[in-house]
Chains A and B, each alone.
Chain A
C-alpha cells in the first residue's frame, strides 16, 4: 500500500482494503471475492458493514458523476460489499458450490459508473 491516503480521512481505518476490495470494476471486485478465503472475506465484510451507512451518506454529498478521487475509492469499497454479500449471505463459502474459478463468464459491458 502506498503512503498517501486514498480515502476520505474519516474512513482512514478502511485504507487496508483499498488494494484488495477497491477495484473500480465489477470484474475486479468479483475476482477479489473469488480469490479469497472466507476468513479474509469476513474481515472486510464486518469492517465495511460497520461504516457502510456513513460511507453512502458521504458519497451522496456529491453527485455520482462528480466524485472526488477519495470518495470514488470509498464508493468502490461500498460496491465491494455486493461481492462479500454473495459469499457471506448466500453461499456460506467464497464461491457457489460446484462452480469453476476461473470460468468463462465475462462482463462484456459493465454498469456505466465503477462497473
Chain B
C-alpha cells in the first residue's frame, strides 16, 4: 500500500473521549501511588487477566523453551514446545524442593533436568526419574509433574493466566479486539531484540507515556518530535482512538518517513541509497506491503501516520508502524517502581548497510527510552508528593482515561465475567 496515495488530510478537532463513552472529569492519582491499590491490582488484575508472554516463533522446535518472570510477585514461568508440537506453560518449580528447574532466558531441553538434584521431567511436565528413588518414601511420580500454568495462543501470541482454572478463555478475554486484529501478518517474529529497564515509577505512569503522543514534541524534541508532529498538528493530536472492552487502540499522527538532513553523514550513509524504512521501525517498506494493507494498520488511512498503539489489557502494547510491529510491556515491581520491556522484531540483515540501519534503529530506541525513563521518574516523584489527588486529561489522552477506568472496574469486580461486562 502506498500510504500517501489516499492522503487523508489531518482534520484537527477530535472527540474521542465522548465517542468512547468515557467521562470528561478529572481522573484519580491514588492508583498510581497507593500500596493498598497495588495489592488489589495484583490480585484482581494481574492474577486474573490473560498476560502476553511471547510469540510461537520463538520456540519453533521440540524442546525449545523460554523462561519469563511474571510480575508482580516474581512468578517464574517456563514456556516450551512438547514432542507433540503443543506449547505448554509451567511454574518454574521442581516438585522435589522447589528449585527453579530452568534458568533461561531461552534454550532447548527435551529433558528438563533440575540442576539441584537432577530430578528429570519430559517436555509435557511428566516426572521421568528421581535419582536414588529407593531412598524416598513411595513418591507418587504421576502426581509430581511440573505444575502447569494455563496457556493459550492467539494469532501467534502466547498468553498465560495465573488462575489455576481461568474463569474465561483467551478468546472471550480478547473479545472484539481479536476480530479487529485477526490476520495481521507478523513478519520476522522469531528473533526479538529485547531491551529492559527498571524504572522509578508505577507501571501505569510508564504505560501512560506510551499511549499518548501529546508529550512527544516536548520530551523528545530532538529524537522523534519530527516523526509525530508538524505545523498542521503541533501538539501531535491523535488520528483515531477506540475501545474494545478492557482493550484500546489509538492511531498517532506523524510523518511516515524519516526526514534526512544532508549534513548528517551517518544518516546519509545509512539511508541515502533509497529505502529509508522509518525512524521508529527497522523493517523495509517492500517487506511491509501486506502488513500495511491490513485494515487495523493505519486504520484511518491517513497520509500523515506514524504508528498505532494496540493496548491489550492490562500491560501490553502491540504497536504498528510503517516498518513493522513491536511490543512494549509494563510490569509492576512495587507501588512506585516497574520493569519496562520492549521487544522489536527485525529480519536478518542481508548486507552491511542494512545492518547499520538496524544499529541506528536500536541506538535511537535506547535514546527515546532514556528520555522517557527520566521523565517517568520525575512524574512519579510529583505524584508521590500528594500535592495533587487528580489529573486533568485531554482528548488525546483518552487511552489513559480508559486504562484507569478499566483497572478500577477490574479491582472492584468479583468475577472476570463481571469485569468484562
Contact = CB atoms under 8 A, between A and B. Distances in A.
Interface of A: 26, 30, 45, 49, 52-53, 55-56, 59-60, 64, 75, 78-79, 81-86, 88-91, 95-96, 98-100, 103-115
Contacts of A96: 223, 367, 370-371
Interface in B341-360: 341, 346, 348-353, 355-356, 358-360
Contacts of B182: none
B351 A49 contact: no
B373 to A, nearest CB: 7
A82 B195 contact: no
List 5 tightest A-B contacts by C-beta distance, closest first. Answer: A85-B266, A82-B359, A109-B194, A108-B194, A89-B264
A114 B358 CA distance: 11
Contact of B197 (A75, A84, A103, A109): A103
Nearest to A62: B352
Interface of B: 105-106, 191-199, 222-223, 261, 264-267, 269, 341, 346, 348-353, 355-356, 358-360, 362-364, 366-367, 369-371, 373-374
> Helix, strand, loop or mixed for chain A's interface?
helix
A64 B370 CA distance: 30
A107 B369 CA distance: 12
Contacts, number: 128
Given A60-B351, A96-B371, A112-B348, A104 B362 contact: no
A70 B226 CA distance: 39
Contacts of B371: 96, 99
A114 B355 contact: yes
Nearest to A50: B265
Contact of A49 (B195, B266, B364, B367): B266
B349 A113 contact: yes
A105 B197 CA distance: 4
A36 B307 CA distance: 34
Given A103-B370, A104-B198, A89 B267 contact: yes
A82 B191 contact: no
A99 B370 contact: yes
